[in-house]
Structure 1
C-alpha cells in the first residue's frame, strides 16, 4: 500500500517555496478599486449588501464567457456541486462514477447527497477519468458520471456523452454528465469549446488557490438546462416558499471582484501556461521524470505541474524526492491528488471492496513542486535546478535510472 501522502514532505518549517501557492492568480488595482466601490455604495443603510444586482451581472458575464445559457453563483464550489447532486434526488443504490485520483470534495459530495460512489481508473497520461474503465463501471443503477478536469488538463467529454446515451437508466434516462472544472476555469476542451459549455452541469470553484478567486471562496455552475438553473437558484436562497433550501449565496464584494478576475483570467492563465511550458523545457533532460503533456489552445492550464518518478521509485522513492527537495533545497511539493479512499476514512468505508490499482500506482509516483505564474525567473531557475539535483540524489540512492 502506498505511503500516506500526508507524511511528505516532512520538513516544511523553513521552505523557501511553499508546498503549494496560497493564491492561484493575483489581484491588481482594478480588484481593489472594485472592492472600494462596493464598500462605498453598501455602507448606506438604504442600500446595504444585498448582492442580487452585482451577482447577476457576474453570472451573465460568466455565462457569456463559457458560451452557456445559465450561470449560477454559490458561496463555494463544494456547495455548488452538492446542490447539483441534490437536484438528482439520489436514492439508496443510485450510483455516481468518478475517478479514483481526485480531490476528496467531489467524492464527499456524492456520499453526502445519498449516492453510491463508484470509482474508476484514470487515463494514464492525463489522469482524467478513463472512458474505457467508466464503461466497465456502468450499471443500470448509474445516475451520473462525474468528470474532473484534473489539475487543469481538459478532458474530452464527447466519449462520455456518447457513453451516457448508450446506457440509459431505466427510469431517469441517460446518466447526467457532471463536470468538475474547479482547476480548469478559462480552458478549452479538445472539441474546441470553452470549459463549462459541455455536459449537463459544470461546477467551478473560486477558492483562493484556484485560477481565479473571489476573496478566497466562491463557486459557479454553468448549464443549458433551464430547470436545473431555476432549481439551483431556489436551493441557494432557502427554497422559495415551498421547497427546502439554504443560504449559499455569493456576496456582492465577491461578485464585484469576480467580474474583474474574469476579465483578467486569460492573462493569468497565459502566464501560467508560459511558466509551465518553460519548466517542462528546463526539465526535459531529467530522464527519471515523466513530465506533463504539452498542449496548446488552453487545453492544459497547469493548475499543477505534475511530475512522475519511475515505477521502481513508487511510494518510498517519490517520498524521498519530496523530502530531499524540502530539506536540502527549500522547495515544497504536494501530491495532488492521492487516491481518495487511501487518504480519507469515510470514503474508504463507503467504497469497501473497490480498488483501482492503476490509480494507486500512478498516485504513488506523483509529485507537484510549487508553481505560480508570478515566480521570478530566478526562483524558477533555482527550483528547476533543485529538481534536477534532488532527482540525481535519489537516483544514486536507488542505483537506478529511468
Structure 2
C-alpha cells in the first residue's frame, strides 16, 4: 500500500536547523592528528596504505570495549550485515524476522540473501521489536531474528534468546539472534553488558550520522563465535584461498580515526544523553507530546529524540506539526522509520500485501526534530521553544482527546 507521505517537511527552504545532523560523532584535534600522521607515513612507497595492522588494532580495541571475543571490521555496516547473513547460507524457504519500524537496510539485506523477510510489530515505549509479536510470527522455517536497538534505545535481548531456544529450526537448531546496533554503539543492556557482547553477532555502523564515525563510512561485527569471525574475515578478503569473497576491507585511515573516536565515544554519548534529557525536561509540560523513554534499567543513547503526538493527530496532525516547525520556525524534523513496504517497491513486492498495523499507527504519530550535542545551548532553547509553540498552534486545529 504505497503512500506519498514525505518523511521530512515539504517546506525545507526556510530551515535554520536541518532535518537531521549530517555528522553524529564529531572530530577533535586528535582525529586530525591521526589522519595527518597516516598521510605522512603512507606516502612512503615501502609502506603505502596497506590496512592490516591498523585495522587489527582497531578490531582488538573494539572487542575489548564491547566485551566481545572477536571484532571484524568492514567498509560499511550494510556490507557487514550482508556478510553476516551470508554465513547462514539462507535459502528461499528460510525466514528472518525483523521489526517493521526499522531502516530499510536490514530488510534489503535479508531479501538480497534470498530468504523470506517476516515483519513483526514494535512495542511501546521503545518501538523496538516486540517479543510477543515475534513469537506469533515464528515458524519452523525461522533461521534468524534481527533485533534492532532502534534510535539508540537499547533492547533487552534475553526474551529473544529464550524465544529462539523454544522454537528451534528442525535442521539448524535455534534461530540466530542477530543484533543491529547501527544507532546504539556504546550502549548498555538491562543485563549490564555492553551492546555487542550478547546475541550471536552484532553489527555496528560508523556512517557519518552515527554515534561514532570513521571518515563517513565503516562498520564492525562483534561475536563470541570464533568460527564465525574467521568466516567473516575470509568473506571480506576474497574468500581466502577456498571460498567466494570480495573486498570489503576498512582502510587504515578509517581504523586510525576509529581508535580515536572509540576512546571518545562515552564522552560523546554522555553529551548526547544530557542534551536529550534536557529537551525532555523542557517539554515535559506539553501534554500533547510523548517524549522518548529514559529507560533507567539500561542506556538510551538518543540517536534521535522521538516525539509521539496524540492518536487523534496521527497522520495529518503530525504532518501539520512538522510543516509548522519547518515553515514558521526553521526547525527540521524527520519521520524515523516508516515501514519499508509503504515506500520501497522491492520490499512491498516481497512482503506481498502483509502489513503491520500497529507499526503504521505508531509511525503516523512520530516525528524526530533535529537533535545534536553540538547545537549551541541558545539554539537548543529556540528549538525547544519552537516545538512548544508549534504544538500549541496545531492543537487549535487538532485538539487532543
Q: One fold, TM greater than 0.5?
A: yes
Give yes or no for contact 1:333–1:368 (8 Å, CA) kept in 2.
Answer: yes
Give yes or no for contact 2:98–2:120 (8 Å, CA) kept in 1.
Answer: yes
Deviation at 1:4, TM superposition (A): 3.7
Give the secondary structure class of the aligned counterpart of 2:320: helix
Structure 1 Cα separation of the partners of residues 98 and 7 of structure 2: 26
Give the secondary structure class of the aligned counterpart of 1:6: coil
Q: TM-score, normalised by structure 1?
A: 0.98
Q: Corresponding residue for 1:370? A: 370
Q: Corresponding residue for 2:98? A: 98
Q: Corresponding residue for 1:287? A: 287
Q: Corresponding residue for 1:185? A: 185
Structure 2 Cα separation of the partners of residues 181 and 224 of structure 1: 16
Greater mean deviation of Cα atoms: 10-19 or 70-79: 10-19
Q: Corresponding residue for 1:119? A: 119
User: Kindly tell me: are residues 2 and 366 of structure 1, through their superposed partners in 2, closer, same or farther at Cα, counting changes over 3 Å?
Assistant: farther
Q: Corresponding residue for 2:47? A: 47
Deviation at 1:240, TM superposition (A): 1.1
Aligned positions of 1:171-250 closer than 5 A = 171-250=171-250
- Runs of 4+ aligned residues of structure 1 deviating over 6 Å after TM superposition are none
Aligned positions of 1:68-87 closer than 5 A = 68-87=68-87
User: Kindly tell me: are residues 208 and 7 of structure 1, through their superposed partners in 2, closer, same or farther at Cα, counting changes over 3 Å?
Assistant: closer
Q: C-alpha offsets along residues 200-220 of structure 1, whole Å, 9 cap, x if unaligned?
A: 000000000000000000000
Structure 2 Cα separation of the partners of residues 62 and 340 of structure 1: 31
Q: C-alpha offsets along residues 46-88 of structure 1, whole Å, 9 cap, x if unaligned?
A: 0000000000000000000000110000000000000000000
Q: C-alpha offsets along residues 14-71 of structure 1, whole Å, 9 cap, x if unaligned?
A: 2100000000121000000000111111100000000000000000000000001100
Q: Corresponding residue for 2:163? A: 163
Structure 1 Cα separation of the partners of residues 291 and 335 of structure 2: 15
Q: Corresponding residue for 1:401? A: 400
Structure 2 Cα separation of the partners of residues 65 and 251 of structure 1: 20
Structure 1 Cα separation of the partners of residues 198 and 242 of structure 2: 32
Give the secondary structure class of the aligned counterpart of 1:261: helix
User: Kindly tell me: are residues 220 and 256 of structure 1, through their superposed partners in 2, closer, same or farther at Cα, counting changes over 3 Å?
Assistant: same
User: Do structure 1's residue 17 and structure 2's residue 14 form an aligned pair?
Assistant: no
Structure 2 Cα separation of the partners of residues 5 and 255 of structure 1: 39
Q: Corresponding residue for 1:269? A: 269
Give yes or no for contact 2:2–2:343 (8 Å, CA) kept in 1.
Answer: no
Give the secondary structure class of the aligned counterpart of 2:53: helix
- Which residues of structure 2 form unaligned runs of 5+? none
Q: Corresponding residue for 2:301? A: 301
Q: C-alpha offsets along residues 100-144 of structure 1, whole Å, 9 cap, x if unaligned?
A: 000000000000011100000001211000000000000000000
Give yes or no for contact 1:3–1:316 (8 Å, CA) kept in 2.
Answer: no
Deviation at 1:376, TM superposition (A): 1.0
Deviation at 1:298, TM superposition (A): 5.8
Structure 2 Cα separation of the partners of residues 248 and 260 of structure 1: 22
Structure 2 Cα separation of the partners of residues 92 and 342 of structure 1: 23
Deviation at 1:346, TM superposition (A): 0.6
Q: Corresponding residue for 1:345? A: 345
Structure 1 Cα separation of the partners of residues 298 and 57 of structure 2: 25
Give yes or no for contact 1:2–1:315 (8 Å, CA) kept in 2.
Answer: no
Structure 2 Cα separation of the partners of residues 5 and 159 of structure 1: 34
Give yes or no for contact 1:5–1:335 (8 Å, CA) kept in 2.
Answer: no
Taking only aligned residues, the RMSD between alpha carbons, in angstroms, comes to: 1.1
User: Kindly tell me: are residues 98 and 198 of structure 1, through their superposed partners in 2, closer, same or farther at Cα, counting changes over 3 Å?
Assistant: same
- Which residues of structure 1 form unaligned runs of 5+? none
User: Kindly tell me: are residues 205 and 270 of structure 1, through their superposed partners in 2, closer, same or farther at Cα, counting changes over 3 Å?
Assistant: same
Deviation at 1:2, TM superposition (A): 9.0
Structure 1 Cα separation of the partners of residues 298 and 374 of structure 2: 18
Structure 1 Cα separation of the partners of residues 6 and 181 of structure 2: 24
Structure 1 Cα separation of the partners of residues 5 and 321 of structure 2: 13
Give the secondary structure class of the aligned counterpart of 1:55: helix
